[in-house]
A and B are shown apart, each in its own frame.
Chain A
Amino acid sequence: MEYAFFLGCTIPLKLPHLEKAFRDVASILDVKLKEMDGVSCCPEPVSLQSLNIDTWMALGARNLAIAEKMGLDILTICSGCYETLKTVSVLLEEDEKYLEKINAILKKINYKYTGKTKVYHFVEIFSQPEWLNKIKELTIKPLDDLNLAVHYGCHLIRPSKIMQFDHPEKPEKIDIILEALGAKTVDFATKLECCGFCARLQEEIGENLVEEKMTELCDLEEEVDALIAVCPACTTQYDRKEKIIARKTGKQLDIPVLYLAEIMAVALGVELEDLSLKQRSVKPNKLIEKLTT
């Protein structure tokens, strides 16, 4: 399997350890990643779409056109990139006139998007039955002792008429990947709540949302070893806000937040010292202890 690998900005430039974990996983599972030359920010779905939809669409279509030239579908590792590229591709597929308008802009820089590029988030690939089997086969260090909570995040699954990813109110694709690795996943009421990262106008929105979810996870009967996310924004939002909440309220929430590819890499046999699991605010010390004993 070969994909045009759309890295985005936040992961390669700010959180390269997440990229490292993903590349390790891809290499073990034999997914070939072709680097994309000349691509820009996806562009970021929140503010750029807010400022000007045409700019957002045209920059997105240029990225899609680069993949089209490569003759490959796109693989993303960030829910923001996934949302932008998928939405742009679906809307342009639905609206021929708009596609013409965007192509008129792209023509001056010698691009043409014909609508052939498909966009995937890596969760979408790895949750397919044949990949789950492969993951099970290649799991060296099953996560039998781990109790994990999944955060899907909004942009991965909604709006479902565009994302066509999973059930919008009862998704299971990340859970089944973790189960294939041997872990247990927990059910909880705030599972589908937003992380609040994109609510930029008021800090307290994010803080309240993070506090609500993490408090619930702390109060569950069974101890939760980590929250697993698939988007760099959600991952850092929970990790950083936990510490801010602790400073403000004295509540020690302290549930480590891991990116899905990191925990996959552990189970697939990547050495812990080759991953940067401590590179976050809430150190997963207990989790590392469990993984090494």
Chain B
Amino acid sequence: MAEMIKKNAKDLDSNFRYEISEKIGAKSLLKCIQCGVCSSGCTVTEYVDMQPHRVVASCLLGLKEEVLSSQAIWTCSLCHRCTERCPKNVDYSFILALLRNLAVKEGKIPKEYSGTVVTIYNNGFVVPYTGGLKDNIDRRRKRMGLPEILPPNLDEIKYIIEETGLGDLAKQKEGDK
């Protein structure tokens, strides 16, 4: 359970709620009535430092730093029960993805999450598919009588990743995540 946070009103980021709610799919943030249904059905509710309804309340209050530094936003298993059950249609699981995006912009990325884009940037797939690994995979598929893998167009994939702002993260070395 989160410790009590004491903060002066002038230190709150009153714009934080709008920074989130203006994004696609996140307008619903402003409708939360703090009923707690999200937290009661949450798969990881007993593992987080801030339960879902408290994350939402903290966003609305402007506790930006606390939210973006919380372990709660990364612990979610993405089961979507919160979004499914919310009586006010707050799309918490999608809002959580936005909060993660904002944390990433501040360089706060757990290593469990940063590697994927490196692998996709270099392989087009989320599974390494180059060199010896590729040969093994191709051999195994051939043995099973499966068609050859059609290679993804890497130039196009790299372009999209760079154009949307993940280029620097994606250019890290594989294994150096």
Residues of A near any B CB (own CB < 8 A): 9-10, 12-14, 16-17, 19-20, 23, 35-41, 43-55, 58-59, 62, 91, 95, 98, 105-106, 108-109, 154-155, 158-161, 168-169, 193-194, 196-202, 204-205, 209
CB <8 Å contact, A37 and B150? yes
Residues of B near any A CB (own CB < 8 A): 23-25, 43-44, 47, 71, 74-81, 83-84, 89, 91, 93, 97-98, 100-101, 104, 109-110, 112-117, 120, 124-127, 129, 137, 140-141, 144-147, 149-153, 156-157, 159-161, 163-166, 169
Residue among B74, B117, B126, B149 with the most chain A CB within 10 A? B126
CB <8 Å contact, B77 and A205? yes
Contacts of A154 in B (CB 8 A): 77-81
- Minimal beta-carbon separation of A156 from chain B (angstroms): 10
CB <8 Å contact, A158 and B100? no
Complex Cα distance, B113 from A52, in Å, reads 11
Given A13-B125, A16-B141, are A51 and B160 also a contact pair (CB < 8 Å)? no
**Contact with A43, one of B80, B120, B149 (Cβ below 8 angstroms):** B120
Complex Cα distance, B80 from A194, in Å, reads 10
CB <8 Å contact, A58 and B160? yes
Contacts of A23 in B (CB 8 A): 146
CB <8 Å contact, B113 and A51? yes
Secondary structure type dominating chain B contacts: loop
CB <8 Å contact, A47 and B166? no
CB <8 Å contact, A9 and B110? no
Q: Can you name 16 A-B pairs with beta carbons within 8 Å? A: A12-B141, A12-B149, A13-B127, A13-B137, A38-B152, A41-B124, A50-B97, A51-B100, A55-B117, A55-B161, A59-B161, A158-B81, A159-B80, A194-B43, A198-B77, A205-B44
Q: Closest B-chain residue to A202, C-beta based?
A: B47
CB <8 Å contact, B98 and A109? no
CB <8 Å contact, A9 and B127? yes
**Contact with A47, one of B89, B116, B160, B164 (Cβ below 8 angstroms):** B116
CB <8 Å contact, A209 and B43? yes
- Minimal beta-carbon separation of B50 from chain A (angstroms): 14
Residue among B127, B149, B159 with the most chain A CB within 10 A? B127
CB <8 Å contact, A58 and B125? no
Question: Could you list 16 further interchain pairs (A-B, Cβ under 8 angstroms) beyond the known A9-B125, A46-B78?
Answer: A9-B126, A13-B149, A16-B146, A17-B144, A35-B147, A38-B151, A45-B78, A47-B113, A50-B100, A154-B80, A159-B83, A169-B84, A197-B77, A198-B77, A199-B77, A200-B113
Contacts of A196 in B (CB 8 A): 43, 77
Complex Cα distance, B81 from A168, in Å, reads 9
Contacts of B75 in A (CB 8 A): 199, 201-202, 205
Contacts of A53 in B (CB 8 A): 23-24, 97-98, 101
- Minimal beta-carbon separation of A195 from chain B (angstroms): 8
Contacts of B151 in A (CB 8 A): 38
Contacts of A46 in B (CB 8 A): 78, 113
CB <8 Å contact, A55 and B160? yes
CB <8 Å contact, A158 and B163? no
Contacts of B100 in A (CB 8 A): 50-51
**Contact with A105, one of B89, B97, B126, B163 (Cβ below 8 angstroms):** B163
CB <8 Å contact, B159 and A160? no
- Minimal beta-carbon separation of B13 from chain A (angstroms): 21
Contacts of B150 in A (CB 8 A): 35-39
CB <8 Å contact, B44 and A40? no
- Minimal beta-carbon separation of A170 from chain B (angstroms): 12
**Contact with B169, one of A36, A40, A51 (Cβ below 8 angstroms):** A51
- Minimal beta-carbon separation of B26 from chain A (angstroms): 10
Contacts of B74 in A (CB 8 A): 50, 200-201
Contacts of A193 in B (CB 8 A): 43
CB <8 Å contact, A20 and B78? no
CB <8 Å contact, A49 and B97? yes
Complex Cα distance, B141 from A282, in Å, reads 23
Given A53-B97, A201-B112, A205-B77, are A105 and B164 also a contact pair (CB < 8 Å)? yes
Complex Cα distance, B23 from A95, in Å, reads 11
CB <8 Å contact, A159 and B84? yes
- Minimal beta-carbon separation of B61 from chain A (angstroms): 23
CB <8 Å contact, B125 and A52? no
CB <8 Å contact, A199 and B44? yes
CB <8 Å contact, B78 and A198? yes
